[in-house]
Amino acid sequence: MQARSVDDHRQRIESLLRPLADRETERIPMARALGRRLAEDLHSPLDLPVFRNSSMDGYAVRAESVATVPVTLPLAGVVAAGMTGDAELSAGTAVKIMTGAPLPPGADCVVPIEDTRTDGSTVTIEKGRATGDFVREPGTDVRAGALLVAAGTRLAPRHVAALAAVGLAEIPVARRVRAAVLTTGDELMPAGSVLRPGQIYDSNGLTLATALADNDVEVVSVGHSSDDPAEFRALVTAAAAAADVVFTSGGVSKGDFEVVKDVLATLGGEFGSVAVQPGGPQGVTVVDGVPVLSFPGNPVSTAVSFEVFARPILRELAGLEPVEVDELALLESVRSPAGRRQFLRGRRTDDGVALVAGPGSHLIASMAAADVLIDIPAEVTDLPAGTPVRVRRL
């Protein structure tokens, strides 16, 4: 059977996940708003500022009282932030006022404290002020009913600040895509355990979980199954019941004990080869209406499969910017297998892109030094140093 192309397989996955764009919204408290995507336009329920207030520490006066300076005025009181400030200010008097405090009725400007002298009962104004100086009028920031933040906005601290300032306690946001992760293999052991001969640590579960979270997906579970078909079937069914999409790692190749392929094939799963390196063996199944994406178990194959096949659509569903793709010059020559689209690990430099380690699908530790995947087309076998190549930011 001819291997499916990378683009065909990615489009197959995207067709299964794109309906999640219509997932429901939810209301969350403002304390959890950072990074969430707003589901509806939000309009201000009130004017900001809410009331006339001082933008400086100083003295509230009538402009006519300080038209000629210096002038000494009797102090009629103090207004601090949080006070009502409802006592009428008489002509020829001043009230000491703090930043954010309401302007007393009758006052129409504020003289900053640095332009005054006081003995505690009077204040000498040394610089006159005009009507409106250092006064914040209601609605000069935003009017009640005005659009505050538009639907689809990914909320940054500046958006949260604006929403909190108008007193919103809860907001409607798009529910995050929910994903479950399930690794497989008798040889996998949890971190911290002592390895026996033939065993390795399970890195793929955490790799997928963190990659999902980094793309604004809610990870509802991270599990592991042995090579026992009954155990895997129970775990994948439970994962599908809790998630919008399930990711499995391992058990999809052509050898014995391929538990993922053996079980999911009985549920209508499609398994085969994609013309890609690493990550050739791939599977797609729908379990109880939930897509199950099955990646090969070699650590680099799992990581690259996620980057190439799942990350672009997940970012689209989350309203994130697309994966960044650049064109850089190779700093060394590259050979690539004919008929397979190869994704090599690379590192950006000022001069182009350098290879990081070799193409082996087990070389996961070296991937920590990479910041891009170098995309070598399937029809290309030899690329000399200096050749421009497409690179995908990790």
Per the listing, tokens 């995309």 go with 375
Q: What is the pLDDT of residues 315-336, one digit of tens each?
A: 999 999 999 999 999 999 999 9
Q: What is the pLDDT of residues 166-196, one digit of tens each?
A: 999 999 999 999 999 999 999 988 888 999 9
How far CA 32 is from CA of 23, 157, 173, 236, 282, in Å, comes to 19, 11, 10, 30, 36
> What is the distance of C-alpha 266 from the center of its chain?
37
| pLDDT averaged over every residue in the chain | 94
Per the listing, tokens 């391929």 go with 258
Quick check: 152 and 36 in contact, CB under 8 A?
no
Helices 311-318 and 6-17: angle between axes, nearest 10 degrees? 30
Would you state the pLDDT for residue 366? 75
pLDDT at 100 over 90: yes
Q: What are phi and psi of 74, to 5 degrees?
A: -70, 145
Would you state the pLDDT for residue 365? 72
Q: What is the mean pLDDT of residues 238-250?
A: 98
The full set of domains in the chain, from first to last, is 6-23+176-318 (3.40.980.10), 26-46+147-174 (3.90.105.10), 53-136 (2.170.190.11), 325-393 (2.40.340.10)
Would you state the pLDDT for residue 361? 54
Integer Cα distance of 325 and 198 in angstroms: 39
Would you state the pLDDT for residue 254? 76
Would you state the pLDDT for residue 359? 67
Integer Cα distance of 54 and 345 in angstroms: 58
Q: What is the pLDDT of residues 335-384, one digit of tens each?
A: 999 999 999 999 999 999 999 976 665 567 777 889 999 999 999 999 99
Would you state the pLDDT for residue 307? 97
